[in-house]
Homo-oligomer: A and B are copies of this chain.
Amino acid sequence: MKSDIDALMKARNLDAIAIFGNAEHNPPMTYMTGGGHVSHATLIKKQGSDAILFHGDMERDEAAKSGLKLISYSNYDAQELFKKANGNGLLAGAMRAEMMFKDAGVTSGRVGVYGTYDLSAVFGMLSHLQKLAPAIEFVGEPREDSLFMRAMETKDETEVNRIRRMGEVTTSVVGKVRDYLTSCDVNKDEVLLKEDGSLLTVGDVHSKIRLWVAEHGAELPSGFIFAIGRDAGVPHSAGNPTDLMKLGQTIVFDIYPAEAGGGYYYDFTRTWSLGYATPEAQEIYDQVKEIFDTLNDNFDLNVPFKNYNQMTCEYYETKGHPTPLHTKAPVEGYVHSLGHGVGLNIHERPFSGFTAGDDERLSPGVVITSEPGLYYPEKGMGFRIEDTLWVRPDGKMETLADFPYDFVLPMKKWKK
C-alpha cells in the first residue's frame, strides 16, 4: 500500500525515488498522482518527505488534482538552459533535473528511477545527469520486484472497489456479447448471421465489444481476446477478424477493461461453444472447470501463489496434458502459469510461475487472477476460465464479479 513506500525505500537503501513521464498509462505515476492528464511530468520524493510533482505550466489544473506539492517547469528557464547546453537537449534536461533534485532536497545518495516513458530520452538524460551529480547513484529495479510493484501488491478497500467496479463493467459487456451471439440466426453451414443476413465475423464481434466497453467510459486494451478455433488455441492470439463465427467451435473471450487513462484493471475469461460442443472439447472443458473449482476450494491465506500453479500442473498431468512441470516451454497443453496480481498493471505481483518468489503469497489485500487454461492449436481449440479474486482482510477469497461458467451456449433460434 502507498503507506509502505517510505519503509520500502528504507529497506532498499533508497534515499529518494523519481518517476518520469505522464500521469496516464504509467502505473507508478498514476499510483502517486491518482491519474489525470499531466504529461512529461517528473515526481521526486525524498525518503521521509512529501513527494513533489514537477509539471508543465499548461497542465497546472490537472496537476493540482493530485493533491501533491507542485512545482512548475517554468521555474526553470528552458531557453536559457538550452543555450547553456549549446543546444544539447539531453544535457539541458539533465541541468534542469539537477536543479529539480536540489529543490527536492536530493543532492546525493541512491535514487531509484521509475515510470513508463521514452527510454531513450530518460537513459540519455540520466547519463548526463550522472556526470553533473556524481554523488547521486541512479538505480533501476526488476519490473516484477520494483518498489512500486511491492507497494501495489496489497490493495486498500478503495482500490478494491475500483477494481470491483471494472468487474461490473466487464461482466455487463460479456453478458451483452453472450446475448447477442445466442440470438443470431444460423445458416446451413452453421455460421452465425448478422441482422442483415450477412456472415458474422470475429471482427464484427470485436467491434461490438469495443463499443460496449466504451459505453461504460472504460478503456479496452486492444490486445483483448475474442478468438475462435485454432486462434483460441494460441493463448495470446487476439482472434483473426476475418474468421467466421461458427457453432461447435471453442471461443476464448479474455477481456481486461481498465479505468480510462490507464487506471485499475479487471481481468476475466470465459470459454464458450455455441449451440453444441464436440465430445473432445467438452471433456477438456470439464477438466479446466474441475481444476478451476478445486483451486477455489483450496486457495488459502498466506500460501505461496505458485503452490497452486504446481497443483494445476499435477492435476493436468494426471489427465495427460503437457505442463511446464515436465515439459520445457510447452506449446500445447498448459502453457502459461496459473495467474497474476491485477491492479494498475494488468500483470503484477503476486506471480504464480515457477520463478515466482516464496514471498508472493495470498496475503490479505492481494488481488489475483485464477486462469487455468489448456491449449491445442493443432486441434483448433483452446480453453481458459478466469476470474479476478480478492484476498480479504478476514482471509476469505472473494470473486470480484460473478458470471456463469456455461461452456455450451444454447442458440435461441437454432436446434441440432
Residues of A within 8 A of B (CB): 20-21, 24-25, 37, 39, 56-62, 74, 77-79, 82, 88-90, 93, 112-127, 138-146, 206-207, 210-211, 213-215, 217, 219, 221-223, 231, 234-238, 260-262, 328-329, 331, 335-336, 354-355
Contacts and interface: CB of A to CB of B under 8 A. Distances in A.
B25 A25 contact: yes
Contacts of A56: 236
Given A39-B223, A58-B234, A355-B78, A139 B124 contact: yes
A162 B61 CA distance: 34
A322 to B, nearest CB: 13
B113 A120 contact: yes
Contacts of A37: 222-223, 236, 238
Contacts of A238: 37, 62
20 contacts: A24-B222, A39-B236, A56-B236, A57-B329, A58-B234, A61-B231, A62-B237, A77-B328, A116-B117, A117-B119, A119-B119, A121-B141, A121-B143, A124-B142, A210-B217, A211-B211, A211-B214, A211-B215, A214-B214, A222-B260
Nearest to A221: B24
A114 B124 CA distance: 10
Max chain B CB contacts within 10 Å: which of A77, A88, A139? A139
Contacts of A355: 78-79, 82
Q: How many copies does the complex hold?
A: 2
A82 B353 CA distance: 13
Contact of A120 (B89, B114, B235): B114
Contact of A140 (B120, B142, B236, B262): B120
A260 B222 CA distance: 6
A-side interface mostly: mixed
Given A114-B119, A115-B118, A116-B119, 7 more contacts: A24-B221, A61-B234, A62-B237, A74-B328, A120-B141, A120-B142, A123-B123
A388 to B, nearest CB: 19
A20 B119 CA distance: 8
Contacts of A234: 58, 60-61
Given A62-B237, A122-B119, A236-B37, A222 B141 contact: no
A59 B21 CA distance: 28
Contact of A93 (B139, B142, B261): B142
Nearest to A224: B37
B146 A121 contact: yes
